[in-house]
Amino acid sequence: MSNFESFKIFALEDNAVFSKMLHYILSMDDEHEVVMFKEGKDLLNALDQKPSVITIDYTLPDMTGEEVIQKVTSRLPGVPVIVISGQTDVKTAIKLFKYGAYDYITKEEDIRERLLNALNKIKTKQSLEEEVQHLREELSHKYEFDKSIIGNSNAMKKVFQMLHKTVDNNITVSITGETGTGKEVVAKAIHYNSTRAKKPFVAVNIAAIPTPLLESELFGHEKGAFTGAIAKRVGKFEEANGGTIFLDEIGEMDISLQAKLLRVIQEREVVRIGGSNVIKLDVRIITATHRDLSKEMKANRFREDLYYRLLGVPVYLPPLRERGNDVILLAKHLLQEFCNSNGMNAISLSAEAKQLLIDYHYPGNIRELKAIIELAAVMCSENEIKAEDFQFSGSSDVEAIMSKEMTLKEYNIEIIQRFMKRYDDNVANVAKKLDIGKVTIYRYLKEMETNN
């Protein structure tokens, strides 16, 4: 099935006999809605109907083919214009291509085949463009701030305040935060909520590319620029032209390359390795790092001038352990996504599971939470995740407990409570694991009951 409900073709032809033949050829496909014109002015007056493609005769009674093409392309840029002519002069064809013609077809025996092939190519191209536009609109919707970034905590409210200041301008944004806090998601949200949303978003993980290859990856190279450069390569900055480039883990960039990056940012232009042509850039830059760049700068591992060029709007993403009940909101969101993508029934979280999620320390932040939730969803039964379905690998329960501010007695009670749950209230096992006496455990359990 085609993506086109109606593919409107305007055909301009003053010869009555050829006009009938042309209408017959164009109408062979049921998708085509064909409108015939005898004069150029009539076609131009109907352009508000926005045809999908236009065919014009080169020789017209009221104006030249060049005039029609120029007027069409000025009013409807991007609409393909196919010239159909009795002339076979190559110079005429080249001139019309310069004016914006999509194709030039002569009135010969194979006109039917050539014309239909040209139309099929146009339909395929327009179909792909519509699909790309649809995907971009979906991405834009997906990355709305309140849909892509989950959280109601005070820490996240500060993040949202900063993000809204980045939408209506092209200022550089520097995102900082621990590994796994969602820096790329935030970068995409900034891009897809900005005026550049319909342009490319290009992400580059600096840490994942070896230093000798990074310059070529970012700025491109010409064929033969160095050993192994068997073809021209367009760099990531060129790919992102008009849109946004996201430089993830910018703190890992070798200081030898930082000067070249600084020049590209300052001049807003790039020259490929081994080339001489200057390529002008219109690119928004978003950076991210888990490092403290101010400390890196003082240690002479990061250039001071580059640091201030990249600072722009600083957005700090708090670690998950500082976000309180956001953990449950995120867990539910991740759980729903996992169930939907795997065709599973809805799964809920038990009260004990929720408490355990809140208490955990999350050294891997949201990335770790996602792994924990997905594994628990597979391990659980009866469509409910219980505390025992979780497997925390990033740090121990004791480390999670120690992240809280409590009295020593409260720490002891918390630890014993957790181990009692883990070992099904078997006091002997808990005493053995914690290397304390059973009497001590009974005393703390009694105190827990008294306090409750």
Residue 82 to residues 23, 28, 75, 152, Cα–Cα distance (Å): 15, 18, 16, 56
Taken in order of first residue, the domains within the chain and their CATH numbers are 7-136 (3.40.50.2300), 145-318 (3.40.50.300), 321-390 (1.10.8.60), 405-452 (1.10.10)
Q: What are phi and psi of 151, to 5 degrees?
A: 160, 140
Euclidean distance between CA atoms 150 and 181, whole angstroms: 11
Looking at residue 226, its pLDDT comes to 84
Two tokens at 6? Answer: 């109606």
Q: Note whether 148 and 188 are within 8 A (CB).
A: yes
Two tokens at 113? Answer: 């085949």
Helix axes 408-422, 427-434, angle to 10 degrees: 130
CA angle 294, 296, 300 (to 5 degrees): 115
Looking at residue 81, its pLDDT comes to 92
Q: Note whether 72 and 81 are within 8 A (CB).
A: yes
Euclidean distance between CA atoms 140 and 190, whole angstroms: 10
pTM attached to this predicted model: 0.61
Looking at residue 396, its pLDDT comes to 47
Looking at residue 95, its pLDDT comes to 80
Looking at residue 2, its pLDDT comes to 43
Looking at residue 288, its pLDDT comes to 97
Looking at residue 403, its pLDDT comes to 54
pLDDT by 10s per residue, the chain, length 452: 344 457 899 999 888 889 999 999 999 888 899 999 998 899 999 999 989 999 998 878 778 878 888 899 889 988 999 998 877 667 777 888 887 888 888 887 688 888 988 898 898 888 777 776 666 555 555 556 666 788 889 999 999 999 989 988 999 999 999 999 999 999 999 999 898 988 999 999 999 999 889 999 999 999 888 888 888 889 999 999 999 999 999 999 999 999 999 999 999 999 999 998 999 999 999 999 999 999 999 999 999 999 999 999 999 999 999 999 999 999 999 999 999 988 899 999 999 999 999 888 888 899 999 999 999 998 888 899 999 898 886 544 545 555 556 677 777 787 788 778 767 788 888 888 777 888 888 888 887 777 66
Looking at residue 261, its pLDDT comes to 96
- Complete edge-to-edge strand list for the sheet that includes strand 7-12: 32-37, 7-12, 53-57, 81-85, 103-106
Looking at residue 4, its pLDDT comes to 44
